Structure 1
Amino acid sequence: MYKKISKNPFYQFKQSSKFPVNIKRLLASLPVLLLTTPNIAVAQSNTAISLSVTVNSNQDGEVEADNNLTLREAIAIVNGSLSLERLSSTEQSLVSSGSNQAEIKFNLPPGQTKITLESVLPPLTNPGTIVDGTSQPGYDASKSATAEIEIPIPVVEITSAPGEQVFRGLTVAADNITVEGLSIYGFNSKHTDTASLPPGDIVVVPYNSVLITDKEKRRQGDKGSPPRNVIIKDNWLGITSEEQVPEKTSAFGVSVFNAIGTNISRNRIANHEGSAIITGKLAENTQIQSNIIVGNGIAGMPDAIRLEGKINNSQVTSNLICANDGSGVYLFKPEGSVKIQSNNIKYNGRRLRRAGVYLMGNNHEVTNNQITNQPGSGVAITAYPDSKRNVIRDNNFANIEGLSIDLNYRNTASVRDFQRGDGPNPPRNSGNRRLDSANGAINAPEFLSSEFISIDGKVNIDGKAEPGSEIDIYKVNANSKQQLDLYPAYSALGEVIARVQADEKGRFKATFTNLQPGEIISAIATQSKYGTSEPAANAIVKSVNNSQSFQKPQSPIQNPNCTSRPVAPTPIPEPPIPQPPIPEPPTPIRLSVPRNVHFALDKDFISQKSGEVLDKIAEVMEQYPNIVIELQGHTDSRASVAYNQDLARRRATNARNYLIKKGIAPERMTIRSFGERKLRTQENNVVDYARNRRVEILFFDVRGIDIEFENQEQDLQIEQ
């Protein structure tokens, strides 16, 4: 009846004139446009096709008239590129007229809910289509694996088949499409076509972009209208439904390549080689809200959320962004402004030490966020290109290594300084000083004294700042050890305790009755013309008799947890039962743990023997969840300093990624690269060289455990 005429994965077929009567009646009542031209892969009708299609098979492959209706066939049906007469009567029974929009539902057999794709699926081109993983029997919308944001556990999984290089999960190419309730992972490839069409779990692109196969043509001219109002919600991306790291990790989670009004909400996004969410040419009015974004950037672009291109009126709100390998939010040369508010951003920069939030551009707002445990500043704003009128207010910072707000200075323009922050700027009052740094080089406030006296319970504060600016006075959190070493006069901004106005000469004053001797304060200035400043140097409150109790620096290593399990309802208490005497505390547990692995000359991969060593470390970390580690990469002294620095980082990264795949949470591991700076031996022979090519593991928070660390050499790789 049909002859296949192309190997195009979107299926091109010639149709016959035969058509079952019952299907004719069904389609006669629907505004359906069936595609008959053999050289076009998919249909895009101006009139939406309202069909409800139920997928009953997890198989993939070519269209066949059998009892199995696959996801590939379902997409082709709702797109209008596969006529129902192509199907068997059993498959036809799984297709019915929809209400107002097309639906793809699931009724997969128990134990067969993983769909393994052999090639890229057709793009979703029928406006208003819903791909509904919540329809699968066994899906429980009331059950979540996380307490912080309740996202139901998916049942239906979509991944690439073993041995296949499938570079994209779902491609969204029409307006008002919804994807919900699915687990999507394992989409990554070296496919040359991904140079202009990104790989990932879900990619939102215009219709024409997925039809043009010539890359040069795709880079030029009209690519079709950007999809509008796409909804991606309640999915698990990059993580299996059993909460495992997949064997094959995806390149990106969601790529909004060219779209308007995309809503990405209540998704759990983890374990991607690149960013969890990334935008491309156009992503205006993108809404990223209430997602759990953990452990992304493990091999490529490291930042959890990377926004670039036209992103005006976009918002990043109420997300948990934790343990990603770069910044939590990274804005790269954006066109337009973004609001970043009410997010919990913590433990990021695990591989590349960056600010929690990194901004380029103008008129961004960063407000009401918790930004903690960052190996860099809280918010860094670059001076390239000119970045002005960025408002950074009402955030709470703690345990960061740099300034809470760092306006990068043009004269310290190295990549590392810009991404982590370059420290306090000197006051600048020349005529050209507004070009010196971000936010028009607005000067930080200065207290008129580094000490203020509490008299009869009152503390009078005064200082100077930019004339006419608003001053937020903060009670600060204690310095982290790293911040104390780098910037001893600064602490992390904690709670806002007052907001006052500087007069026309720049003077400001405030009186407090709730400050105690020993408490430390700082301040920031915000002026509409320039934006928000860096923080003021600390000032301390003292009593009349000069007594105060200083805050102790915070520990740089805490037991990091990104998520926790939901708490079961509290049962009705039973009558108390007499308790036996409390036993004596157990004696400390004694363990022998290897603390290093080795590498071959100029290599960064984990050998089989090194894997066995890391397996032992993983066993200990699984048994004792309070332990956190730092993996320090080293090389021998050959090659350049820059090359060795990068090689050492790759070695530490690969060791960490190995442990992640063994189930160790990424937030429990940081990496640091020393290159050739810390040789273990003097390199008198090839054995010494081999001993220097290593990753050393430092263990922290080992309370109650007596650990004997072993510098093992069973995996030593001596060059020939």
Structure 2
Amino acid sequence: MRKVTNRKISIALIGSIGLIGICSADFSSENLAIANQINPRYQITVNSNQDGDIQADRELTLREAIAIANGSLTLERLSDAERAQVQPLLNQKGSQIGFNLPSDRTTIELRKALPDISSQNLIIDGTTQTGYDAQSSFAQELAIPQPIVAIAPADGVEIFRGLTIVADGVTIRGLSIYGFNAIESVPTTTPSADIFISHQAPPPDTTQQQQPAKFSPFYDSNRPPQAVILEANWLGITPTGKMPKQPSSFGVYLFNSTDTLIRRNRIAFHEGSGIVTSVKATGTQILENAITSNGFDGMPHGIYLEGEIANLRIKGNTLCANDGSGVYLFKPNGAIAIEDNRILFNDRSTNYAAIYLMGNDHRVTNNEIRNQRGSGVAIAAYPKSDRNLIRKNTFTALKGLSIDLIAQSHVNTRDFVTGDGINRPRDSHFRRVDTANGAINAPTFLATAFPMFSSSQVNIDGTADPDTEIDLYRVTGKTDPNLPYGSLSEYLTTVKTNANGKFAVSLNNLQVGDTISAIATDPQYGTSEPALNAQIVNPDLSVPTPANVQAAIPACTTPPQIVQIPPPPEVITLSVPRQIHFALDRDEISPISAKILDRIADVLKQYPTIMITLAGHTDPRASDTYNRELGFRRSRAVRNYLMRQGIASERMTVRSLGETQRSSQGNQITDYARDRRVEIEFTDVRDVEIRFESQQEDLQVE
């Protein structure tokens, strides 16, 4: 057995070693009685938002409550007033921590990291605080009530993690946890997060820990916590719904766990991804969460999955306005299901697919996927990714293919994250190896136009790989007339090809002017890319002029009270600047620029149908690569500032033009000062004209 050299690990192990045998068995009343004798269960009430060293005084803090539950703080060390907040629990699996904080002091401001939660089946329940309303919700689509109790670092204090869970059966409910980051003072190779789940106490810096053989990060004794429950929490976001001054690094980090349930949480405003897995997260259930506006300064995805993730399920979530993909898989072990989610307005600063898959046997079904600058679902060619089933989803307003099977011959970095466009028909058996999903062929319609006769039926026929199932779709919404494909917006029906690869079907749920497409699925290889579009026409091959459909107002979620927006004038004329400027080689927003952005924020609040694109620019005095990244930093800084002013991130797209579009071609310091800017492009989803003014009052000359 390996010698434990880290004192903190030793203490954590001692706190729970007496329960290992009991907690692995069923909890009969006899076992519970024995367990209570070995490690008593308590109902513990936190009545102070203060933090500091454990000491006997008049109030019980969260730090003291966790220590009592862990068994490292005995009741004998408490004052009489503190002991009054601790009551024995009989016939319970674990202790429970509730809250009775003063109504004006419900944010627990930590001075240092809390102890690891090593008490099995402990419940920390913010819904016990007076005033909590379990029936309210911040959005119509998701039953996630507003928390009252918050946990955050004190001002000026850097804390690595919020809650670290190392025991089975722990439940965290009804809390707001935010502001946990490692920026300067904490050396680390394991991640910072609001909630971190792992085996017993790996050190923050894993270089301190001797590595076992075969390059495994774990020993046999490093047993992952099982059946942790996280529900009804707001992670990365304050109880008021605002972005905190210091964002957290990650939301939930599943470093090593099994069968974790992440249900009905609001996870937003993280520098990295909202949910991340590392080495093991098998059996994880991610259900009915709102995962929005994450990844603006690092790993850009809503959910990032790697490691062992077999039987993981992502169901019923809203994944919106994250900087990269809604769901991103990187070399995973095991198959997952992604179903019944709303995945929209992601890819705010890149061209990622809404869902990016690596690996085999994943299922993506019944998802709403829309407003993506990349493709809908992209499937990697390397490592080999086959038998991925992508069926009965709806896609709208995509710049790329609804389903994009990447070919290994396309080796540009962009190809591997956003897709590589339409594949040619399979012309060799070797294509089965070098293209995702075995290079299954997309269906081919036998005509580009199918006439509808008086019977209101239309006959559709085409070809695909033999013995495959063909899902037909209506293609709706705005599509580029120059592209031969569109978004698969509405599932129509399924028909099977015969042994010769032919299919035919008569449909009565189409209208003249509709556009259709199709995908093919073979369980041996997976689902194909979409067919090239075909159109439903009159018998004389004519089609009516399409109606002008009003674009939808962008929003991740519908607020409890719907705000009615008055009809706009034909032209909106606004006296507001459309750029701010930066100092040399900097991305900080100056006080003058901040006042300009405040004016812009006021306009965006007044006109909620306006969307903006933030383009970062630089002067030419550095490499192209450096300037492109500097431009991104500047545009992200503007986006983050506006988010703090209450502007929803789904209304803002971030990009960088680096030095490619200078303000002028001069080489004076004032010319360079004009180059260092973020240009703000304003558009209105109602297709009205907007006129703006330029400004230079915040110019920063060297």
**What's the TM-score, normalizing by structure 1?**
0.88
Q: 1:77 aligns with which of 68, 79, 84?
A: 68
Q: Distance in 1 between matches of 2:77 and 2:10?
A: 15
Match of 2:382 in 1: 384
Q: Distance in 1 between matches of 2:186 and 2:314?
A: 30
What secondary structure, in the 3-state scheme, does the structure 2 residue paired with 1:217 have? coil
Q: 1:58 aligns with which of 39, 49, 55?
A: 49
1:368–1:395: 8 Å Cα contact kept in structure 2?
yes
Match of 2:531 in 1: 536
What secondary structure, in the 3-state scheme, does the structure 1 residue paired with 2:643 have? helix
Q: Distance in 1 between matches of 2:9 and 2:255?
A: 21
Matches within 5 A, 1:127-526: 127-190=120-183, 195-209=188-202, 215-217=208-210, 219=217, 221-222=219-220, 224-456=222-454, 457-481=456-480, 484=481, 488-526=483-521
Match of 1:643 in 2: 626
What secondary structure, in the 3-state scheme, does the structure 1 residue paired with 2:256 have? strand
Q: CA deviation at 1:567?
A: 4.8
CA change 1:213–1:401 in 2 (3 A) is closer
Name whichever of 587-596 and 633-642 sits farther off. Answer: 587-596
Letter of the aligned partner of 1:642 in structure 2? T
2:336–2:362: 8 Å Cα contact kept in structure 1?
yes
Q: Distance in 1 between matches of 2:36 and 2:222?
A: 21
Q: CA deviation at 1:701?
A: 1.3
Q: CA deviation at 1:121?
A: 0.5
Q: Distance in 2 between matches of 1:140 and 1:664?
A: 26
Q: Distance in 2 between matches of 1:461 and 1:563?
A: 38
Q: Distance in 1 between matches of 2:7 and 2:599?
A: 48
Q: Distance in 1 between matches of 2:647 and 2:195?
A: 26
1:593–1:707: 8 Å Cα contact kept in structure 2?
no
What secondary structure, in the 3-state scheme, does the structure 2 residue paired with 1:521 have? strand
What secondary structure, in the 3-state scheme, does the structure 2 residue paired with 1:147 have? coil
Q: Distance in 1 between matches of 2:222 and 2:453?
A: 70
1:588–1:704: 8 Å Cα contact kept in structure 2?
no
1:399–1:554: 8 Å Cα contact kept in structure 2?
no
Letter of the aligned partner of 2:676 in structure 1? R
CA change 1:458–1:584 in 2 (3 A) is closer
Q: Distance in 1 between matches of 2:549 and 2:42?
A: 59
Asked if 1:694 corresponds to 2:658, the answer is no
Q: 1:104 aligns with which of 75, 97, 109?
A: 97
Asked if 1:600 corresponds to 2:583, the answer is yes
Q: Which runs of 5+ in 2 are unaligned?
A: 1-5, 15-31, 212-216
Q: CA deviation at 1:207?
A: 1.4
2:40–2:88: 8 Å Cα contact kept in structure 1?
no
Q: CA deviation at 1:455?
A: 2.6
Instruction: Kindly report the root-mean-square deviation, in angstroms, between the aligned alpha carbons of the 2 structures.
Output: 2.6
CA change 1:183–1:585 in 2 (3 A) is closer
Q: Distance in 2 between matches of 1:662 and 1:223?
A: 48
Q: Distance in 2 between matches of 1:584 and 1:504?
A: 56
Name whichever of 699-708 and 262-271 sits farther off. Answer: 699-708
Match of 1:124 in 2: 117
Q: Distance in 2 between matches of 1:301 and 1:330?
A: 10
Q: CA deviation at 1:508?
A: 1.0
CA change 1:593–1:215 in 2 (3 A) is same
Letter of the aligned partner of 2:536 in structure 1? V
Letter of the aligned partner of 2:500 in structure 1? K
Q: CA deviation at 1:589?
A: 6.7
Q: Provide Cα deviations, 1:83-106, integer angstroms capped at 9, x if missing partner.
A: 111110111111111131210111
Q: Distance in 1 between matches of 2:548 and 2:406?
A: 26
What secondary structure, in the 3-state scheme, does the structure 1 residue paired with 2:130 have? coil
1:478–1:552: 8 Å Cα contact kept in structure 2?
no
Q: Distance in 2 between matches of 1:383 and 1:329?
A: 17
CA change 1:161–1:593 in 2 (3 A) is same
Q: Distance in 2 between matches of 1:600 and 1:552?
A: 48
Q: CA deviation at 1:235?
A: 0.5
Q: Which runs of 5+ in 1 are unaligned?
A: 1-5, 15-27, 34-46, 569-582
CA change 1:226–1:192 in 2 (3 A) is farther
Q: Distance in 2 between matches of 1:104 and 1:661?
A: 32
Q: Distance in 2 between matches of 1:500 and 1:634?
A: 51
Q: Distance in 1 between matches of 2:376 and 2:192?
A: 30
1:519–1:551: 8 Å Cα contact kept in structure 2?
no
Asked if 1:624 corresponds to 2:607, the answer is yes
Q: CA deviation at 1:191?
A: 6.0
Letter of the aligned partner of 1:667 in structure 2? E
CA change 1:345–1:584 in 2 (3 A) is closer
Match of 2:28 in 1: none
Letter of the aligned partner of 1:126 in structure 2? S
Q: Distance in 2 between matches of 1:553 and 1:368?
A: 28
Q: CA deviation at 1:640?
A: 2.4
CA change 1:267–1:584 in 2 (3 A) is closer
CA change 1:120–1:7 in 2 (3 A) is farther
Letter of the aligned partner of 1:470 in structure 2? E
Q: Distance in 2 between matches of 1:446 and 1:71?
A: 63
Match of 2:19 in 1: none
Q: CA deviation at 1:441?
A: 0.9
2:472–2:517: 8 Å Cα contact kept in structure 1?
yes
1:590–1:705: 8 Å Cα contact kept in structure 2?
no
Q: Distance in 2 between matches of 1:716 and 1:648?
A: 16
Q: CA deviation at 1:369?
A: 0.3
Letter of the aligned partner of 2:531 in structure 1? A
CA change 1:707–1:517 in 2 (3 A) is closer
CA change 1:550–1:492 in 2 (3 A) is farther
Letter of the aligned partner of 1:406 in structure 2? D
Q: How many residue pairs were aligned?
A: 668
Letter of the aligned partner of 2:149 in structure 1? V
CA change 1:678–1:68 in 2 (3 A) is same
CA change 1:658–1:66 in 2 (3 A) is same
Letter of the aligned partner of 2:156 in structure 1? G
2:395–2:487: 8 Å Cα contact kept in structure 1?
yes
Match of 2:26 in 1: none
Name whichever of 458-467 and 368-377 sits farther off. Answer: 458-467
Q: 1:609 aligns with which of 572, 585, 592?
A: 592
2:178–2:247: 8 Å Cα contact kept in structure 1?
yes
Q: CA deviation at 1:31?
A: 3.8
What secondary structure, in the 3-state scheme, does the structure 2 residue paired with 1:536 have? coil
Name whichever of 203-212 and 240-249 sits farther off. Answer: 203-212
Q: Distance in 2 between matches of 1:511 and 1:283?
A: 46
1:10–1:122: 8 Å Cα contact kept in structure 2?
no
Letter of the aligned partner of 2:303 in structure 1? I
Q: CA deviation at 1:51?
A: 1.3
Q: Distance in 2 between matches of 1:700 and 1:143?
A: 34
Name whichever of 585-594 and 228-237 sits farther off. Answer: 585-594
2:296–2:323: 8 Å Cα contact kept in structure 1?
yes
Q: Distance in 2 between matches of 1:310 and 1:59?
A: 39
Q: CA deviation at 1:190?
A: 2.8
